[in-house]
Structure 1
């Protein structure tokens, strides 16, 4: 046990980051060297209630408290001390979605997550109004759709925010968002790093006839950039986070961020000409742009880094959920055969098997659409596996195709960025559990994008570590030190990076698979329309 780490914990020189992801809430405590020294996590799943993907408020707080307590117990077990204070705290969560509250701070309708493809009319109308891509999952699309639907709660809205913004607000009393998270709520003015005032005016004019008792600027959070102080932990906040009551009040918090922003930070891809792919329940590629895109593309969203630099995002709602379900089936089969298998080993072996497959996956086809997929215009999902009688159906091709399809919808957006917009990329950094098995998903992603893909040794750390780094930046940055410089000089200076260049055979194979993927979308449409 390091005495330095113990002293850092006792003297509050650590930083806590907590991210509320789609399937897991993770708490990570980092030391003075920005390396993780303790962690705790809580597994959870969204519910599909009245055709809405949601998590209840009770689940949010239960999961947050559980992940914090497990992290604090990890500290006690490893270092023999009780965690009572930290230097800073940061919260991150799934971006977008809809959480609307009245004056009494009561949630007006159940939390509508990013996963809901229920705002098509609003998305189209707002994109046309602003001449700026407004995806279905953005918070403003959810708000406007609720207005179009004539939902009763609209007149009672006093505050609208995201999941991370909600948690931060309850713990600090501050109604704020980090600019990266805010950029998925409403378009950002890149000069002011605030919500775009011109577009706010256009929106207010659009809804004027509804005679609502609020203007848009009245109900949105304040926007902050990385390094800004976003309030401190209150008495009420301590009670909500630490049920043991050991944690002290007054700890500073960094601006709450979205999982896209923390993914950029965790992979050191916040500088121009860098990009990262976060692959989990959803898959999204983030590319920091040197200049604006030439036109609006429905497949590409424009968001920002936590510092407010322009980013193009190719986002697909589905990535690993169906793949995980198939691995679960293999695990179940092993148990029925009386074979006890380690889950991590099972993933590793199955992933490595994919390397033995035909370059194009042997003519097999899969869509892992557990939920709707906006990239290919599906309002609902139907996971499908399809093959012809001539296809080469074996385990290697089966696994290969499920790994290919995890990146399939996202590739459609990235092809527009690289081929049409001629965006230059030096490299892409991959992070998420899918990259855990060395050289498999990383190589397939390099083939999909025809670009070198790097994975860092911290690739599995994810967004909780990313938001902890933003907390570290808040309290440790030098005067006028940019986030890019802070990360380069204090976090990633000795980071081990493994890079894979695209294999021409795999590039060609992936392109063949994508032709099949595009042609087969009619099958997915038939399943959505006819399989209820």
Structure 2
């Protein structure tokens, strides 16, 4: 049987596994075969909007995006293999972590979806962090809930279910109010010993709001926590129609626990074991380091979450990464069109990224502040993208692009320095993935400079979180009894997959250190800009 015939048989017999991830700018669906190789894909571009001071996506945009990405995947199957996609072996959904989606008993959304990008919960995050003696970031679901309580928002007493984007989609397609443990760890702190929400902290929260007289306790409105590999329900008839507008997809497909983009990133880069880590760089950027021992102190810049299997992870999450960089590339594309030059998007990015490698190691006196939104790591509630340069700076395209690439990782470096320099966290391997690493060698070398550590990029780096989510669904479907997620990835998925590792260039490391110091100094100007307009 040829490779093509094997794929067709896999699809026809319903052994293909589907992963769908809702990213900040793209919803991607990936279908994999029994060897975990992508065999079809579909995607849908979308963008969050700032409405009444809240970064959000509308419900109709969520469902239109899901259906469009699935339609395109099914069309890819039909065009490539001349067959209709009607059966699946398993499905997994992933989305941007954190945020706030609150529903009443009639399953009505009580307030517009508040995404991870919002920085409106500073007061709540501070109070809860002190109460729990545990860092609660602003974007976590519990911070949004408590901020709504502090503001006296009327909808709070009506809450029947509080979920994330991935949890919401999973609920609507299966009827199950569950999330994966990695996703849950971005809603409320997890006790890694029990694999559930921290009971003591939950009691403290209920006591904190007891005088409000709400008709619910916190546990009653949060989704159930499941570990990777557990069954999380099946696709209902209604769910099948929500996913596939054509009505061809059969219900009954088993679903794995929905996970956040951090969990799928760890899975897609085989970074779920102790002393491993990964950096996901796109609209936002975050680093995940699986710890071998607890940190010595609480750091407000460091989030404590878990792997999809429930192991403790130190996370540095930055709201801003490539949005400003992408905007400038868009400006260059518009400039080119003025001269009737239609530049391919991928070629334009690749050319400009490569040009950046010709720039000065410290960017020659240029600083880009890439804050589209607030940045809790550096204490900014709002963002104002800015570009600054000294009068004696070496103005040129190479330095300009290099400064924006450095800016994409500068805030991440500030947070990582706490782990690597203050906490002396040991890391055996770091893997990069996401849009920043698509141009070979560029994002990889800059991350190596930022961390002063070897960085690997796998040949599957471009597949991203949707592929990682499909792997989690495949693990649920075909793991051996007692087989850990790490062992499954090692033996079944990555045993023969290639990666390239790049060592840091000492000159790049020194240049990035200089740039970061200047970047931090220029944050005073960023704060002033926020106050000014």
Fold agreement, TM-score > 0.5: yes
Structure-2 separation of matches of 1:296 and 1:456: 33
Structure-1 separation of matches of 2:260 and 2:169: 12
Aligned positions of 1:106-505 closer than 5 A: 106-505=108-507
Structure-1 separation of matches of 2:435 and 2:134: 33
Q: CA deviation at 1:112?
A: 0.2
Q: CA deviation at 1:188?
A: 0.3
Pick the aligned partner of 1:510 from 506, 509, 512.
512
* Root-mean-square deviation over aligned CA pairs: 0.6
Structure-2 separation of matches of 1:99 and 1:338: 45
Q: CA deviation at 1:339?
A: 1.4
Structure-2 separation of matches of 1:341 and 1:366: 24
1:79 corresponds to: 81
Structure-1 separation of matches of 2:55 and 2:26: 16
TM-score for both structures, normalised by structure 1: 0.99
How many pairs align?
Answer: 531
Structure-1 separation of matches of 2:240 and 2:297: 47
Structure-1 separation of matches of 2:356 and 2:147: 43
Q: CA deviation at 1:340?
A: 1.9
The answer to whether 1:95 aligns with 2:97 is yes
Q: CA deviation at 1:56?
A: 0.6
Gapped regions of structure 2 (runs ≥ 5)? none
Structure-2 separation of matches of 1:97 and 1:441: 28
CA deviation profile, 1:225-284 (whole Å, cap 9, x unmatched):
000000000011011110000011110000000000000000010111000000000000
Structure-2 separation of matches of 1:363 and 1:314: 27
2:60 corresponds to: 58
Structure-2 separation of matches of 1:309 and 1:393: 47
Structure-2 separation of matches of 1:351 and 1:400: 8
CA deviation profile, 1:470-503 (whole Å, cap 9, x unmatched):
0000011001000001001111111111100110
Q: CA deviation at 1:427?
A: 2.0
CA deviation profile, 1:315-374 (whole Å, cap 9, x unmatched):
100000000000001111111012121111111111111111111000100111111111
Find the residue that maps to 2:353 and give its secondary structure: helix
Structure-2 separation of matches of 1:2 and 1:439: 32
Q: CA deviation at 1:391?
A: 0.9
1:45 corresponds to: 47
Find the residue that maps to 1:227 and give its secondary structure: coil
Q: CA deviation at 1:426?
A: 1.2
Find the residue that maps to 2:381 and give its secondary structure: coil
Q: CA deviation at 1:400?
A: 0.5
Find the residue that maps to 1:460 and give its secondary structure: helix
Structure-2 separation of matches of 1:6 and 1:205: 57
TM-score for both structures, normalised by structure 2: 0.99
Structure-2 separation of matches of 1:348 and 1:69: 29
CA deviation profile, 1:422-446 (whole Å, cap 9, x unmatched):
0011121000111111111100100
CA deviation profile, 1:80-114 (whole Å, cap 9, x unmatched):
11001110000000000000000001000000000
Structure-1 separation of matches of 2:30 and 2:413: 31
Structure-2 separation of matches of 1:427 and 1:450: 12
Structure-1 separation of matches of 2:350 and 2:154: 50
Find the residue that maps to 2:296 and give its secondary structure: coil
CA deviation profile, 1:62-84 (whole Å, cap 9, x unmatched):
00000000000000000111001
Structure-2 separation of matches of 1:321 and 1:374: 17
Structure-1 separation of matches of 2:90 and 2:392: 59
2:31 corresponds to: 29
Structure-1 separation of matches of 2:358 and 2:128: 47
